[in-house]
Structure 1
C-alpha cells in the first residue's frame, strides 16, 4: 500500500482532486486542519493556527499520525492524503513558530511514498472561512512546502494545472508507472 500526499498552497485544487479520486474508488483522507478550524470557530476562535499555534499543532499532529496509521488497514493499493506531517513544519516556519520536537520526529519517522505539489493557481483560488490567505501568501506557503518536503528527502512532483480529469490521471500515471 502506497501513501500518496497531495500538498500545495491553499486554493490550489487539492480537495477537488481528492474528491475525484474518491469517486474513482480510491481511499482518500481529508485535510485534518479543516475540522480543527471549524471546531475552534465554534468555540469563538477565528484563527486557532495564529491564536494558539501549540494547541493547533498538537491536534494536527495527532490527526495526521492517525491518518498515516489508518492507511495500514485499507484494502486499496493507494491511499491519497490531503497534506502530511511536514506541512506542519512548513506552516510553522511561515509564521515564524518553532515546531515541537515530536512534530519533527514524526516527520522523520513516518514517511510517505509520493508527494504531489499543487501549484498556486490564480484562476481557481478563492478564500473561505477556513482559507483566509491571500494569493500572494499562498505563493509563499507553496515555496515553504516545497522547501520543507525537499529538506526531509522527498522528491516533490508538481501537478500541472488543468481540468479535474487530467490532473487526476496525471497523478495516477506517475504513481502506477514509478
Structure 2
C-alpha cells in the first residue's frame, strides 16, 4: 500500500499559471516551501552552456528535475513539518509524457515511492497572467498541454488534483490554507 506524506503538499500546473507567485505569498505568511527545480536547472545549464536544457535534451532535463525533486523531498523530511512544494516527482513523468518520451521505470518507481499529500493543488492555465521570458519559452498552448499532462500524471499515481481558482494571490492563499486546514 502507498503511504502518502500527509505534511507535504504539491502545487503543480503549467508554466505561467501563478504557482511560484502563490508559493512566495504562502512563504510570506509563514508556510515552509520548496522551490521548483526547472528554472534553477535552466539558469545553471545556461551558465555553463550545458546539455541539460529542455530545448537541447528533454530526457536529460527530466533527469535533472527528478534529482532536484528527490533531494527537495528528502530535505523536507529531515526538517519535518508542513511543506508546500513547487512541483513534485510526478511532474517529471508528466513532462516526459508531454515531450513524447517514454517514462523510464526508475521515474515511475520514484513517483510511487516519494509521496506527497493525496490532495494536489493544480494551477490551471490562465491567459491573463501568462508570460514568456528567457527561461519560459513555452507558448500558451504548451502551457495548456502541460497542465493536462501533469494533472494526468498525478491522477495516474493516485493523487487528486484540485484546481486553484483564477483569482487574486490573496484569494489563492486563502483557498490553499483553508483546504490544508480542512485536512
TM-score by length of 2: 0.91
The residue aligned with 1:27 is: 32
Task: Give 1:5 deviation, angstroms.
Answer: 0.3
User: Which of 151, 155, 173 matches 1:146?
Assistant: 151
Task: Give 1:62 deviation, angstroms.
Answer: 1.1
Contact 2:51–2:57 under 8 Å retained in 1: no
Question: Alpha carbons of 1:11 and 1:47: their partners in 2 closer, same or farther (altered >3 Å)?
Answer: farther
The residue aligned with 2:100 is: 96
1:123 partnered with 2:128? yes
The residue aligned with 1:13 is: 18
Contact 1:27–1:74 under 8 Å retained in 2: no
The residue aligned with 2:74 is: 69
1:79 partnered with 2:83? yes
1:135 partnered with 2:140? yes
Query: May I ask how many residue pairs the two structures share in their alignment?
Result: 177
String of CA shifts for 1:21-56, please: whole Å, max 9, x gaps.
111111111111111111111123597123122322
String of CA shifts for 1:96-132, please: whole Å, max 9, x gaps.
1112221110001111103100001011000011111
User: Which of 161, 166, 172 matches 1:161?
Assistant: 166
The residue aligned with 2:111 is: 107
Please identify, of 51-60 and 35-44, the stretch whose mean Cα deviation from structure 2 is larger.
Answer: 51-60
Contact 2:36–2:87 under 8 Å retained in 1: yes
Unaligned runs of 5+ in 2: 1-5
String of CA shifts for 1:63-98, please: whole Å, max 9, x gaps.
1011111111235x4101000111111111111111
| CA RMSD after TM alignment | 1.6
The residue aligned with 2:3 is: none
